[in-house]
């Protein structure tokens, strides 16, 4: 049996596989296991070093000839919503997000399947079963939360919970220096609400309220349309050879 410790984590390298973002490129990842009592501390350190979490695995790109994937984190305390973002907040003012421990439900999976079938039918997650989804949510040794977004009910201001159908869900890790958005999905019938943007804005507000400086968004790939939204949330920092550096870009 292999034992993993905080002092000497073991890292592994995947075999090359086609890159999902840049045609003609091949990706490789370096990864390690996040298990045991020290997993939250290790997750903090690795996330600050450009890793992402998937279940009990922390990984980051290790491609031989490409450095297009860049880790991005929003500076929550300095963030100011653009005019378009303020419209998104207003458009979703009838929603309330309830945060609780990472526990899957059939209602979540039903929404998850609708989202995948509408937006990512040919993606790598398209064949995930209800058990696969449960593992994605539950298989964590860090402080992982589920935020469910529903329409406000008459008692929302008392209980803090919305009522009605589930409209959007975010799976996120709470860390010492911020929140890391692991995965989010929403009802594709409400595309005009810009729910993906709204959930990021909600995470920024939650981080700021908790006094946490960062919201980690994962990887931005310059030139990839599906990743372009990540550089709209300013100010932010990108992880490069000299560490985290402020990235200047005009938000819209």
Residue 250 falls within a domain, yes or no?
Answer: no
Total tally of structural domains belonging to the chain? 1
Please give the biggest Cα pair distance in the chain.
56
State residue 22's pLDDT score.
85
Lowest-confidence segment of 3-17, 27-41, 214-228 by average pLDDT: 3-17
pLDDT exceeds 50 at position 5: no
Residue 96, in any domain of the structure: yes
C-beta separation of 218 from 69 below 8 A? no
Judge whether 175 lies within some domain. Answer: yes
Residues spanned by the domain of 127: 1-68+83-196
Q: Is residue 229 part of a domain?
A: no
d(CA 86, CA 228): 19
Paired residues of 192 in beta bridges:
none
Residue 189 lies in a domain: yes
Q: Please say if the pLDDT value at position 74 is more than 50.
A: yes
Q: Is residue 132 part of a domain?
A: yes
Strand spans (E) along the chain: 12-13, 17-18, 26-27, 29-33, 52-54, 57-61, 69-75, 95-101, 144-151, 163-175, 178-186, 214-221, 236-240, 243-247
Q: What is the pLDDT of residue 159?
A: 53
CA 8 remoteness from chain centre: 27
Domain membership flag for residue 202: no
Cα first-last separation, the chain: 52
Q: pLDDT tens digits for 47-59?
A: 999 999 999 999 9
Task: State the pLDDT confidence band at 1, using cuts at 50, 70 and 90.
Answer: very low
Residue 215: pLDDT band with limits 50, 70, 90: very high
Asked if the structure places residue 249 within a domain, the reply is no
């Amino acid at each position: 049996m292999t034992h993993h410790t905080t002092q000497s984590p073991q890292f592994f390298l995947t075999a090359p596989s086609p890159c999902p973002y840049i045609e003609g490129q091949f990706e490789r990842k370096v990864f390690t296991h996040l298990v045991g009592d020290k997993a939250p501390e290790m997750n903090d350190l690795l996330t600050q070093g450009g890793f992402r979490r998937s279940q009990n695995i922390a990984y980051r790109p290790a491609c031989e000839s490409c450095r297009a994937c860049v880790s991005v984190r929003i500076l929550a305390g300095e963030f100011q919503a653009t005019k378009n973002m303020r419209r998104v907040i207003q458009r979703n003012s009838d929603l309330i997000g309830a945060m609780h421990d990472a526990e899957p439900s059939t209602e979540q999976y039903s929404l998850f399947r609708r989202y995948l079938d509408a937006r990512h039918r040919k993606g790598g997650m398209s064949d995930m079963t209800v058990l696969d989804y449960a593992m994605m949510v539950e298989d964590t040794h860090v402080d992982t939360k589920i935020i469910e977004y529903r329409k406000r009910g008459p008692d929302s201001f008392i209980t803090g919970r919305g009522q009605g159908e589930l409209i959007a869900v975010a799976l996120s890790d709470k860390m010492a220096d911020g929140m890391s958005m692991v995965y989010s999905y929403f009802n594709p019938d409400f595309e005009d609400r810009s729910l993906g943007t709204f959930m990021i804005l909600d995470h920024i507000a939650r981080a700021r309220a908790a006094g946490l400086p960062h919201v980690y968004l994962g990887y931005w790939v310059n030139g990839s349309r599906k990743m372009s939204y990540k550089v709209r949330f300013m100010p932010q920092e990108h992880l490069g050879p000299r560490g985290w550096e402020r990235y200047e870009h005009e938000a819209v």
